[in-house]
């Protein structure tokens, strides 16, 4: 195993502060963008659990605190669109050519990333998406398949991949060093790993985000709930160290500024920010219900009150929220 101190990491610094659109009449941010992009995905009915009117998986009780119903699937598909636009319409940043590759998408969710990759690269040998819940569609590109698997246990299919893609897994993993080692062991020599996650601590470049903001407070409480169950919501700052300690080389970190709200001047970032605002307005219930009631001991009524405040603050044009989004790519030595 390589010593972490001997690994050189190339870091691409975040973009400069985003420009604010001062045109108050240009805000069409919270209209039909989400519904026009997202589509409900039919799921295979399993022994799911229902809490507070939302459906949750029951594959391993307690390992995932967020719903898997159609409302959540729509949100995840919209969040995929955000990440795609944030990375300038690229599904991956690792220096790979998927043709002929065996690829794994960890925690595939609705499977949208894997299916889009399969459509773009029909010559990829196999794209596997794994998840705790079988919510993926049945009709997929011929080189795509899905399986139910818990990546924190022995992997259901022991095979070597050329590329492993992992995003949306914060709050889901108890042992990140073990997961990264699993990825290393299941990659072919020369294979690539790509880890993606945003920092859940928002900030503003112009001091418009104040400590009493309800979006920031909700995320603070959510981080506390995830820490209490041993599944951090903020693993991204440790990604470089984890891949170095596992023995990866050619490590590169890229950081993107992810806005919330339609306040940016740049049209692409305005679109991204609009979707992110909708993500919080329509998705805050999914973030909070189980973590706040089951872990923090809140009542359902207390959670509802906070969520109403979060929805209000997520619509504010005078608060210029920014999240840092991390993408770390690393290669297994030849």
Q: What is the pLDDT of residue 64?
A: 64
More confident site: 82 or 40: 82
DSSP per-residue codes, 96-158: ---TT-EEEEET-TTSHHHHHHHHH-TTSSEEEEEESS--S-S---TTEEEEE--TTSS-SS-
Where do the DSSP E strands lie in the chain? 9-12, 49-51, 54-56, 102-106, 126-131, 144-148, 161-167, 187-198, 249-260, 321-331
Q: What is the pLDDT of residue 58?
A: 61
Residues 6+ apart with CB under 8 A from 174: 63, 152, 230, 231
More confident site: 154 or 184: 184
Q: Could you tell me what percent of the chain has a pLDDT over 70?
A: 83
**Residue that the structure tokens 């001062």 belong to:** 22
Query: Six-digit token pair at 304?
Result: 């509802």
Q: What is the pLDDT of residue 302?
A: 97
Neighbours of 97 (CB within 10 A): 11
pLDDT at 262 over 90: yes
Q: What is the pLDDT of residue 1?
A: 43
More confident site: 152 or 99: 99
Neighbours of 322 (CB within 10 A): 23
Q: What is the pLDDT of residue 59?
A: 44
Q: Could you tell me what percent of the chain has a pLDDT over 90?
A: 66
More confident site: 249 or 67: 249
Query: Six-digit token pair at 115?
Result: 């299916």
Going along the chain from its start, the domains and CATH numbers come out as 4-331 (3.40.50.150)
* Of the ranges 24-28, 59-63, 249-253, the best mean pLDDT one: 249-253
Q: How far apart are CA 267 and CA 203, in angstroms?
A: 21
pLDDT, tens digit, 9 for 90 and up, residues 28-45? 444 443 332 222 223 333
Longest dimension (CA), the chain: 57
Q: What is the pLDDT of residue 152?
A: 87
Q: What is the pLDDT of residue 55?
A: 65
Query: In sequence order, what are the beta bridge partners of 191?
Result: none
Q: What is the pLDDT of residue 14?
A: 58
Give the pairing of strands 54-56 and 144-148: unpaired
Q: What is the pLDDT of residue 223?
A: 96
* Of the ranges 47-56, 70-79, 270-279, the best mean pLDDT one: 270-279
Q: How far apart are CA 75 and CA 79, in angstroms?
A: 6
Q: What is the pLDDT of residue 150?
A: 84
Q: What is the pLDDT of residue 240?
A: 97
pLDDT, tens digit, 9 for 90 and up, residues 94-128? 999 999 999 999 999 899 999 999 999 999 999 99
More confident site: 58 or 269: 269
Neighbours of 295 (CB within 10 A): 18
Which band of pLDDT confidence, cut at 50, 70 and 90, is reported for residue 24? Answer: low
**pLDDT-wise least confident of 21-25, 265-269, 286-290:** 21-25
Q: Which of 304, 176, 167 is nearest to 232 (CA)?
A: 176
pLDDT, tens digit, 9 for 90 and up, residues 156-166? 677 799 999 99
pLDDT, tens digit, 9 for 90 and up, residues 297-315? 999 999 999 999 999 999 9
Residues 6+ apart with CB under 8 A from 99: 121, 123, 124
∠ CA(318), CA(86), CA(262), 5° rounding?
A: 20
Q: What is the pLDDT of residue 43?
A: 36
Residues 6+ apart with CB under 8 A from 209: 202, 203, 216, 319, 320, 321
């Amino acid at each position: 195993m390589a010593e972490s101190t001997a690994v050189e990491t190339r870091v691409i610094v975040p973009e400069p502060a985003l420009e604010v659109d001062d045109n108050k009449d240009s805000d069409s941010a919270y209209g039909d963008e989400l519904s026009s992009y997202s589509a409900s995905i039919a799921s295979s009915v399993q022994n799911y659990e229902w809490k507070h009117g939302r459906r949750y998986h029951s594959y391993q009780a307690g390992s995932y605190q967020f719903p898997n119903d159609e409302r959540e699937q729509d949100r995840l598909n919209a969040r995929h669109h955000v990440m795609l636009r944030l990375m300038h319409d690229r599904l991956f940043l690792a220096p790979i050519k998927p043709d002929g590759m065996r690829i794994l998408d960890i925690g595939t969710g609705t499977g949208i990333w894997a299916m889009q990759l399969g459509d773009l690269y029909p010559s990829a040998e196999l794209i596997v998406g794994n998840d705790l819940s079988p919510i993926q569609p049945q009709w997929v590109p011929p080189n795509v398949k899905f399986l139910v698997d818990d990546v924190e246990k022995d992997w259901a299919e022991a095979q070597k991949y050329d590329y492993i893609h992992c995003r949306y897994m914060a709050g889901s993993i108890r042992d990140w060093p073990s997961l990264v080692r699993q990825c290393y062991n299941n990659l072919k020599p020369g294979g690539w790993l790509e880890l993606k996650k945003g920092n859940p601590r928002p900030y503003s470049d112009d001091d418009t985000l104040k400590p009493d903001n309800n979006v920031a407070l909700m995320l603070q409480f959510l981080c506390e709930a995830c820490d209490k169950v041993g599944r951090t919501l903020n693993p991204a700052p440790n990604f470089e160290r984890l891949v170095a300690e596992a023995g990866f080389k050619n490590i590169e970190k890229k950081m993107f500024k992810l806005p919330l709200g339609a306040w940016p001047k740049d049209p692409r970032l305005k679109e991204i920010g609009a979707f992110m605002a909708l993500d919080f307005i329509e998705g805050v219930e999914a973030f909070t219900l189980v973590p706040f009631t089951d872990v923090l001991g809140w009542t359902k009524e207390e959670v509802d009150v906070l969520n109403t405040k979060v929805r209000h603050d997520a619509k504010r044009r005078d608060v210029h929220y920014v999240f840092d989004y991390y993408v770390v790519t690393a290669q297994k030595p030849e």
